[in-house]
Amino acid sequence: MENNNVLGDLHLTVRELSNVYEELSLLYKLSELFSTLNVNEICENLVNEAVATVGVKTAAVLFLNGGNQTLYTRACKGNWDKNRIVDGGTEFIADVLEQGKPMAFCKFEEVAPEDYFPGLKSVLLCPLAGKGKTIGLMILADKSSENEFYSNDVKLLRVISTQAAMAIENAFLYQEIEDLLLGTIKSFVKALETTTQWTAGHTERVTIYALGIAEEIGLDEKQIERLRICSLLHDIGKIAIPRDILNKKEPLEYEEWMEIGRHPLVGATILSGLRAFDDILDGIKYHHEHWDGKGLFGLKGKDIPLMSRILAVADAFDAMTSDRPYRARKNIDETLKEILELSGKQFDPSVVEAFYSWINRQHRAFLP
């Protein structure tokens, strides 16, 4: 009898331990799945993980629309329209959002208004609540095995949703900080451009051309984002160049060119104390290098960072197609011809080729 009791206790302990182990494994897996800062990726992973873990045919992640009471579909799988918008004021949806607790409905058609979620029988709703606020909710429907949700399903979904909500909140926060940074950079650049009339809009155009080249070369999303920031800041060092040189109406003297030539290094030095710009400093510092090694620092070929090689072409194209106090702008054909002639000398031939095909492919109609 006593032995049986001991065995029973042991069984219970093993089962509890095994549950704890599964939960920990799930948490570990989730921390991997949600370790990205891309909200779309987090939502896709959330849907896939919920479908696999709880064993349902349909899952959807809905986000609350800022300011009003509707929820829109951010990711989904199974019997769910990706354009579906849900009224957050509907009683059971409002309850889940307000109380912050999951709710399961085994016979959903009995509680929902007619045709609310057409075709769904059993439904499990779970709020997506971050530390700060409720982001939206998760809907699971139609279990693969039976028509009922159990407390373990609710528990699992809650664990998954909580982890995802925190990851989404972090990603939003990161995005806000990035936007703030980008906004600040743009203000700096505007401040710089307003002091020299002829450079108005230069940075913005160079950024468009540089990103066009990047798209043509096939850089990934992250590289493109860094290139965007590098392009916006590439001439920030001109802040330190005397205005009378930058605004001079006559052709520049050798010493004045030398003075202007300091701006890549000055720009990189100004930004060198800020960790957010660590990986673009060289892009800025070497944006006036020449492919053949005859540039400011004498760097040659692929020793010049790719960002700088892209900026060199984008920058030259904009400079040539813009009016200067001492010369009129060239037309696009003349400019392209000149850039092609300088391919392999001043510019990286593969970047020139990418720029040429980008312009000719679709963007030429919008250029100055």
Which residues make up the interface to Fe ion (CB under 5 A)? 235
**Do the beta carbons of residue 113 and residue 90 sit within 8 Å?**
yes
Residue reference for tokens 């000055």:
266
CB 236 within 8 A of CB 284: yes
For the beta carbon of residue 153, count every other beta carbon within 10 angstroms.
21
Q: 193 vs 235, which CB is nearer to Fe ion?
A: 235
C-alpha–C-alpha distance, residues 340 and 118, integer Å: 60
CA angle 276, 278, 283 (to 5 degrees): 120
Q: How far is the CB of 311 from Fe ion (least distance, A)?
A: 8
* Dihedral sign, Cα of residue 217, residue 309, residue 362, residue 211: positive
77 or 202: whose CB is closer to Fe ion?
202
- For 35-48, the DSSP string reads --S-HHHHHHHHHH
- Residue appearing with tokens 């085994």: 106
> Which residue has the CB atom at the shortest distance from Fe ion?
235
Question: Residue 14 is encoded by which pair of tokens?
Answer: 């093993």
Shortest spacing between CB 264 and Fe ion, in angstroms: 6
Nearest distance in Å: CB 234, Fe ion? 6
Which is closer to Fe ion, CB of 162 or CB of 322? 322
- Give the nearer residue to Fe ion in terms of CB position, either 153 or 235: 235
Nearest to Fe ion of 56, 281 (CB atom): 281
307 burial (CB, 10 Å; 0-12 / 13-18 / 19+) is buried
CB of 237 to Fe ion, least distance (A): 8
How many Å apart are CA 197 and CA 74, to the nearest integer? 45
Task: Compare residues 216 and 235 and give the one whose CB is closer to Fe ion.
Answer: 235
Specify the pairing of strand 85-87 against strand 134-143.
Answer: unpaired
* Residue 69 CB, nearest approach to Fe ion (Å): 50
**Least Cβ distance, residue 201 to Fe ion (angstroms):** 15
Backbone angles phi, psi at 62, to 5 degrees: -115, 135
If the CB atoms of residues 235 and 348 are measured against Fe ion, the closer one turns out to be 235
- Closest approach, Cβ 238 to Fe ion, in A, equals 7
With H, G, I as helix, E, B as strand and everything else as coil, classify residue 248: coil
